[in-house]
């Protein structure tokens, strides 16, 4: 029974190992001498076919795992004393992560065919990354959350540097690795303090330890003296506060919240574009899932402290992200700052600290995810067609490269408009309802000022999204850059674009239904 609930993870693990063997064994031999990786145009067609096959297999694995998730919906299985907790909360996030993996795989195929054909390690790494995310969201134990996080991070570092002939990609990997390792260490230190306080890494035990009252049995909370100690007033509570600081900083790094965001723009800009898409939604959403679990379930009694901390991070992230995005010329960098701003919006839900707040986080993640993945799918499609590359930058990544896209590729351009409307928060897209619910959560809690900060930032964000829309629709294309003949968009990418655009609207109009999902999921949080 228990193993059936774990089917998606098992499928992912088994299939990824098989795929790894296949990929290394069946990889076509690299011809001695000329290494074609740096020259996309010269990529042999045969090598490209390998990537298509492996990518298709990866997408299929994600799809099968997603189907395997369905029978377990609505059930609640605890394995190994909460080490794995396959509850509705986990179900929502596991589904979301598998969908993310599926979409990223589909977007990657064409990109890899052009930029790094016939290497193949990419696919198992992507599978393991998603596996790590799933473990992070489905554990009530800090140890497992940390292991999941490290699995995601290690795969992410390697994937960021996957284009090993591209200096920017390597730089991105190193920066990401160094800062990420520090963040992990900080996080681990926070976890060790909590372990010290509770004598266990289980969130349930930690919750009992930090809640203060000595009579709460089981937890070996140190100071068992005065009977009327306020929550957090015990020695365990003091340790809890100290741990809190480390956890906020550690997770703050992982979700790229200002002022802990410095790594993000470089990592996002340098990483292969499909991987940037993955970073901007996958590990970030996983970190938010872990945040919800750790803070709501584990440290719920220290709420006044962490809500304040998250409010500060939220406000800073919104302003820093949106204002820094304004002058960007590279669209991936712009989207990196946009992602920082969105981390800020989502953190408002944690800053509110109510059940409505956690629901808002879950729904907003759902809304944000598809819009952002879709936007990156368009970015992949556009950079794929810009062969050669503009001077001083990667091909097709400058906002200028979007000139006249509305005329050349109306589907891509209009889909981009839908994603951006959602990211700004204009109805009837999902982003509007996400922000609307965040507003409501803040206003309900009496924190109208947080709602007003979101409002102001939504208007600021129009500035940079508009810059891209302006290029696509309003700026006339110079005749010299007439559309290249035989320009095409990979069908897999088109499918992703279409699906995410439709989902962005459907998740909005079906607010009741999807908010219900978010509600069921977060209902397990106390």
Residues found near other proteins in the complex (CB under 8 A): 406-407, 410, 417, 421, 426-428, 432, 436, 439-440, 443-444, 448, 451-452, 455, 458-459, 462, 466, 470, 473-474, 511-512, 515-516, 519
Nearer to other proteins, 231 or 519 (CB): 519
Yes or no: say if 313 and 252 are a contact pair by the CB < 8 Å rule: yes
Nearer to other proteins, 233 or 427 (CB): 427
Nearer to other proteins, 302 or 421 (CB): 421
HSE on the CB side for 361, CA within 13 Å? Answer: 33
350 DSSP assignment:
H
Token reading at 471: 């290029």
Nearer to other proteins, 259 or 428 (CB): 428
Least distance to other proteins from the beta carbon of 192, Å?
42
Least distance to other proteins from the beta carbon of 100, Å?
26
Beta carbons within 10 angstroms of residue 36's beta carbon: 16
Q: What stretch of H or E contains 86?
A: strand 84-86
Yes or no: say if 423 and 345 are a contact pair by the CB < 8 Å rule: no
Least distance to other proteins from the beta carbon of 339, Å?
21
Residue 84 has φ and ψ, to the nearest 5°, of -125, 130
| Contacts for 166 with CB less than 8 Å, ≥ 6 apart | 270, 394
Least distance to other proteins from the beta carbon of 371, Å?
15
C-alpha separations of 153 from 36, 47, 477 in Å: 29, 29, 41
CA distance 441 to 434: 11
Nearer to other proteins, 90 or 453 (CB): 453
Nearer to other proteins, 60 or 448 (CB): 448
Nearer to other proteins, 373 or 451 (CB): 451
Least distance to other proteins from the beta carbon of 509, Å?
9
What percent of the chain is helix, strand and coil (3-state, nearest 5)? 75, 0, 25
Nearer to other proteins, 355 or 389 (CB): 355
Least distance to other proteins from the beta carbon of 453, Å?
11
Nearer to other proteins, 22 or 426 (CB): 426
CA distance 422 to 412: 15
From 116, 204, 230, 141, select the one nearest 125 (Cα to Cα): 116
78 DSSP assignment:
E
C-alpha separations of 445 from 10, 186, 233, 314, 519 in Å: 42, 31, 25, 16, 18
Least distance to other proteins from the beta carbon of 515, Å?
7
Least distance to other proteins from the beta carbon of 451, Å?
6
Least distance to other proteins from the beta carbon of 322, Å?
14
The alpha carbon dihedral of 362, 366, 367, 371 has a sign of positive
């Amino acid at each position: 029974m228990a193993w059936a609930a774990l089917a998606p993870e098992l499928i992912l693990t088994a299939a990824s190992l098989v795929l790894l063997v296949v990929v290394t064994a069946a990889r076509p031999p690299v011809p001695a001498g000329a290494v074609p990786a740096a020259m996309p145009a010269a990529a042999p067609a045969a090598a490209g076919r390998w990537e298509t096959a492996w990518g298709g297999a990866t997408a299929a694995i994600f799809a099968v795992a997603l189907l395997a998730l369905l029978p377990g919906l609505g059930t609640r299985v605890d394995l190994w004393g909460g080490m794995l907790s396959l509850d509705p909360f986990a179900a929502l996030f596991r589904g979301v992560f598998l969908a993310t993996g599926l979409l990223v795989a589909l977007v990657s195929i064409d990109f890899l065919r052009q930029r790094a054909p016939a290497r193949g390690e990419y696919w198992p790494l992507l599978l393991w990354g998603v596996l790590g995310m799933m473990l992070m969201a489905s554990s009530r134990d800090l140890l497992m959350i940390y292991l999941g996080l490290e699995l995601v991070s290690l795969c992410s570092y390697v994937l960021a540097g996957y284009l090993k002939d591209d200096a920017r990609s390597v730089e991105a990997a190193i920066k990401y690795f160094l800062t990420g390792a520090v963040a992990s260490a900080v996080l681990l230190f926070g976890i060790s303090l909590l372990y010290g306080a509770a004598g266990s890494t289980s969130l349930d035990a930690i919750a009992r330890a930090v809640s203060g009252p000595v009579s709460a049995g089981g937890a070996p909370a140190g100071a068992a003296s005065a009977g009327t100690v306020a929550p957090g007033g015990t020695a365990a509570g003091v340790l809890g506060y100290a741990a809190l600081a480390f956890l906020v900083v550690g997770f703050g790094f992982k979700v790229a919240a200002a002022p802990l965001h410095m790594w993000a723009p470089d990592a996002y800009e340098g990483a292969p574009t499909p991987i940037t898409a993955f970073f901007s939604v996958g590990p970030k959403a996983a970190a938010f899932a872990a945040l919800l679990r750790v803070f709501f379930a584990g440290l719920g009694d220290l709420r006044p402290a962490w809500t304040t901390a998250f409010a500060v991070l939220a406000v800073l992230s919104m302003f820093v992200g949106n204002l820094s995005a304004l002058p960007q010329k590279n669209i991936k960098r712009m989207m990196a700052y946009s992602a920082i701003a969105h981390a800020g919006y989502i953190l408002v839900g944690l800053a509110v600290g109510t059940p409505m707040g956690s629901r808002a986080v879950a729904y907003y993640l759902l809304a944000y995810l598809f819009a952002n993945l879709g936007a990156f799918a368009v970015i992949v499609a556009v950079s794929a067609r810009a062969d050669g590359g503009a001077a001083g930058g990667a091909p097709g990544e400058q906002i200028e490269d979007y000139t006249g896209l509305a005329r050349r590729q109306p589907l891509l351009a209009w889909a981009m408009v839908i994603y951006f409307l959602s990211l700004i928060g204009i109805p009837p897209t999902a982003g509007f309802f996400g922000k609307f619910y965040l507003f409501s959560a803040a206003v309900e809690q009496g924190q109208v000022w947080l709602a007003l900060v979101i409002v102001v930032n939504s208007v600021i964000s129009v500035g940079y999204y508009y810059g891209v829309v302006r290029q696509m629709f309003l700026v006339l294309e110079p005749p010299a850059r007439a559309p290249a003949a035989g320009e095409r968009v990979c069908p897999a990418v088109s499918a992703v674009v279409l699906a995410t655009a439709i989902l962005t609207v459907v998740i909005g109009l079906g607010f009741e239904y999807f908010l219900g999902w978010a509600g069921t999921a977060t209902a397990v949080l106390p």
